[in-house]
Amino acid sequence: MASFQSDFQAALPFPIKWAVNENKFDSDGKNPLSLSVFVPAESAFTLAQFLLDTAEDPAKTKTAKVWDYSKNEEVEVQGFYINGKGKPGRDGDRTSFGSINPAKPANSSSNLKAEDIF
């Protein structure tokens, strides 16, 4: 079996944390769940660089539909997916949590860190 762990280079100093929980502000039942994403401050600049590098890589971009609020309809755009791993929360199908720890793109043009800017 191939070992992918040894070749993995994380794009971020610390992974992004996410959670899906019941939406406490949903009074009419239209949006019963909410997504919360926590980006460590030390990962913010490298996340921005990761997003820019990935957007410039034609092998990673795909066509998908997103909602255009100005037109009030779905439109096709180029973009990319950022995937993470997760587990069910205490409430089973009502909650979940996990992390996003993307691999550093091969075309990364920078090792930008917060301390390089401040």
SS3 (DSSP) at 96: strand
* Nearest C-alpha neighbor of 86 from the set 48, 36, 46: 36
Q: Record the tokens describing residue 6, joined without a space.
A: 């040894």
Give 40-82 pLDDT, tens digit per residue: 999 999 999 999 989 999 999 999 999 999 999 999 999 999 9
End-to-end CA distance of the chain: 44
Question: Residue 54: what are its φ and ψ, rounded to 5°?
Answer: -70, -40
For residue 35, CA distances in Å to 2, 15, 21, 59, 72 come to 34, 16, 7, 28, 23
Give 109-118 pLDDT, tens digit per residue: 555 554 554 4
pTM of the full predicted structure? 0.76
> What pLDDT, on a 0 to 100 scale, did the predictor assign at position 91?
74
